[in-house]
């Protein structure tokens, strides 16, 4: 992942930290990532759309139709984002609401998942007001703004800075001794994986930190500047163990919630199966309308089609 704010050195007075973060947030993204993000932005006027994850830097020789792009929509309010009360309640009670999206393009059919937060909720979730790491660990990592009104850009910039402070201050106590920025980042990312019950490979965090360029060091210089010689809290490890316990309940709750709010989930599963096995499940219109009822029907069809190929 390219760091567009790379200048080879610490944050200087000539280029403020805000300028650096803004340069990364508004950095270049791949053409297919921009195309999908702009289509999603059309669904949420006045909102910001951010892309995160590996989809930011899809290379020209990769097939974008084989990529699942990941986005966040930061809306002015849940009232603006969702016409229905149930969706608004679900977003507020157990954020975020997650949706599947696909769109035709000159490059083929492109697919994405996007999550929706209100701006006020986003600001709370990346701050120390929120105990679990799900949001502040995610937004401390690099993302790109695909589209955003100027006022929303300012709120996202401040939110990213807040996420960095929250993440790194909580991660600092996990790194042994006089740990450097890299050790703190690795400790925090690995702890956040455990807190989300994510089965990441042992070297996943190292590869990501390496791919982020100067971003981790610059955020650490900013976020930990006030820590000085103050020793990390001894309660940090205990807090992360509590987050892992909490994360188990949250993961199950989000999975159950997704059966109702992850629109297009049947199409997403069918696409994944076709991508990995070549089996085209040919989802029917009624199955899209009633995904809970259709799930066992689609599963049975898959097993029959798989058996017929053997």
80-138 pLDDT per residue, tens: 999 999 899 999 999 999 998 999 999 999 999 999 999 999 999 999 999 999 999 99
Q: Which residues pair with 112 in a beta bridge?
A: 69, 101
Question: How do the domains of the chain map onto residue ranges?
Answer: 17-260, 264-310
Residue 55 has what DSSP assignment?
Answer: G
pLDDT for 199 beyond 80: no
Q: Who wins on pLDDT, 179 or 130?
A: 130
Query: Is beta strand 68-75 parallel, antiparallel or unpaired with respect to 110-118?
Result: parallel
Residue for token pair 């898959």: 302
pLDDT in tens, 55-66: 898 877 889 999
pTM of the model: 0.84
Residue 126 contacts by C-beta under 8 Å, 6 or more apart in sequence? 135, 136, 139, 159, 160, 162, 163, 166
Residue 287 to residue 91: CA distance in whole angstroms: 24
Looking at the DSSP bridge assignments, the partners of residue 52 are: 70, 143
Examine the pLDDT at 281 and tell me if it is beyond 90. no
pLDDT value of residue 3 = 62
* Model pLDDT for residues 252-278, shown as the tens digit of each residue: 788 777 766 677 777 877 877 787 678
Q: Domain 17-260: give its CATH code.
A: 3.30.460.10
């Amino acid at each position: 992942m390219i760091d567009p704010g790379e200048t080879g050195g610490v944050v200087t007075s000539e280029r403020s930290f805000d300028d650096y973060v803004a340069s990364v947030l508004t950095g270049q993204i791949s053409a297919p990532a921009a195309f999908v993000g702009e289509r999603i932005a059309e669904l949420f006027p006045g909102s910001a759309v951010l892309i995160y994850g590996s989809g930011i830097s899809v290379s020209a020789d990769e097939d974008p139709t084989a990529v699942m792009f990941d986005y966040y929509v930061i809306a002015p309010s849940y009232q603006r984002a969702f016409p229905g009360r149930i969706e608004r309640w679900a977003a507020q009670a157990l954020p975020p609401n997650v949706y599947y999206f696909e769109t035709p393009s000159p490059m083929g059919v492109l697919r994405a998942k996007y999550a929706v937060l209100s701006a006020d909720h986003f600001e709370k979730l990346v701050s120390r007001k929120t105990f679990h790491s799900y949001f502040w660990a995610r937004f401390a990592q690099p993302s790109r703004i695909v589209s955003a009104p100027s006022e929303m850009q300012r709120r996202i910039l401040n939110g990213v800075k807040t996420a960095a402070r929250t993440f790194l201050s909580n991660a600092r106590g996990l790194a042994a001794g006089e740990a450097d920025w890299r050790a703190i980042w690795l400790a925090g990312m690995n702890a956040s994986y455990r807190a989300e019950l994510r089965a990441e490979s042992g070297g996943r965090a190292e590869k990501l930190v390496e791919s982020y360029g100067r971003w981790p060091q610059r955020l650490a210089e900013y976020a930990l500047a006030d820590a000085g010689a103050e020793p990390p809290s001894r309660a940090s490890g205990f807090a992360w163990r509590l987050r892992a316990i909490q994360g188990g309940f949250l993961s199950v709750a989000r999975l159950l919630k997704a059966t109702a709010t992850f629109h297009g989930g049947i199409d997403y599963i069918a696409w994944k199966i076709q991508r990995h096995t070549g089996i085209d499940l040919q989802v029917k219109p009624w199955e899209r309308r009633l995904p809970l009822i259709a799930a066992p029907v689609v599963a049975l069809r898959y097993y029959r089609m798989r058996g017929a190929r053997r």
